[in-house]
């Protein structure tokens, strides 16, 4: 039987409706990536989301970002290598202190937004991320895209990789995500999302925005909590996978 982890980026609270949305999504996922204060997040959101995940038996991941709340971490910013590493270490260390406070444990690390995308193509940024993880003495898997620079650097470091695909994002020919600045980057129609998921999880390939089909490996599939209708989509993706003989479990 095919086994897949269903993950979601959480703890990205702007108002109380976001915390309610996280609570509604949690029963349908098996791992989550919690904002660590780089792009958004504070002590209240981190502690509450960690507890929510722990209570729902959902694997807890750190979701560090460029230190850029103004752009929600979705823009590559000018920052020195030293300052980026320092920020990532601070985010990870603060977050894990809250994880330990709740009696839970850190399952994985997944970079957020522009940091994730840049690390997929930029070897230096990938090295900074891995260096920050190792310098903070974490030995947990890293969520990344198959064949990316981050995949290569993580593997070389001896850390484990968990290959991630995206339920609601279009791909380019190189298996990188299509930029959100471009048309068709985000899949909004439910039928398109299900077709996309079926190809990646059940058939083992992905149809790119240009129409090419490429093989792809998937250990975990990501749903973004800020996608419109994310709660309903999480429930329906969960049901769709199970109805197609896929077991949903954290890696």
pLDDT per position as a tens digit, 210-223: 999 999 999 999 98
| Closest-CA residue to 205 (of 214, 195, 196) | 214
pTM given for the model: 0.95
What is the reported pLDDT for 142?
98
What is the reported pLDDT for 122?
97
CB 184 within 8 A of CB 178: yes
What is the reported pLDDT for 179?
86
What is the reported pLDDT for 231?
93
- Extract the residue ranges of the chain whose pLDDT is less than 70: none
What is the reported pLDDT for 155?
98
| Closest-CA residue to 9 (of 223, 240, 218) | 223
pLDDT digits (tens, 9 = 90+) for 118-161: 999 999 999 999 999 999 999 999 999 999 999 999 999 999 99
For the chain, state the CA radius of gyration.
Answer: 17
- The angle that helices 230-243 and 16-25 make with each other, rounded to 10 degrees, is 10
């Amino acid at each position: 039987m095919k086994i897949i982890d269903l993950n979601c980026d959480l703890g990205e609270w702007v108002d109380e409706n976001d915390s309610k949305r996280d609570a509604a999504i949690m029963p349908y996922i098996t791992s989550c990536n919690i904002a660590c204060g780089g792009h958004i997040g504070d002590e209240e959101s981190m502690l509450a989301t960690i507890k929510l995940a722990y209570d729902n038996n959902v694997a807890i991941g750190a979701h560090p970002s460029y230190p850029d709340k103004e752009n929600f971490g979705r823009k590559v910013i000018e920052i020195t290598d030293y300052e980026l590493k320092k920020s990532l270490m601070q985010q990870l260390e603060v977050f894990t202190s809250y994880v330990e406070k709740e009696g839970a444990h850190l399952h994985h690390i997944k970079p957020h937004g522009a940091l994730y995308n840049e690390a997929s193509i930029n070897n230096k940024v990938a090295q900074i991320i891995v260096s920050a993880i190792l310098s903070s003495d974490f030995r947990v898997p890293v969520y990344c895209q198959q064949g990316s620079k981050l995949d290569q650097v993580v593997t070389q470091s001896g850390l484990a990789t968990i290959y991630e695909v995206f339920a609601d994002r279009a791909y380019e020919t190189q298996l990188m995500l299509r930029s959100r600045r471009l048309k068709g980057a985000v899949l909004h129609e439910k039928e398109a999302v299900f077709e996309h998921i079926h190809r990646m999880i059940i058939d083992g390939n992905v149809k790119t925005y240009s129409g090419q089909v490429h093989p792809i490996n998937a250990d975990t599939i990501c749903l973004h909590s800020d996608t419109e209708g994310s709660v309903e989509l999480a429930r329906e993706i969960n049901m769709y996978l199970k109805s197609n003989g896929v077991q949903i479990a954290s890696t």
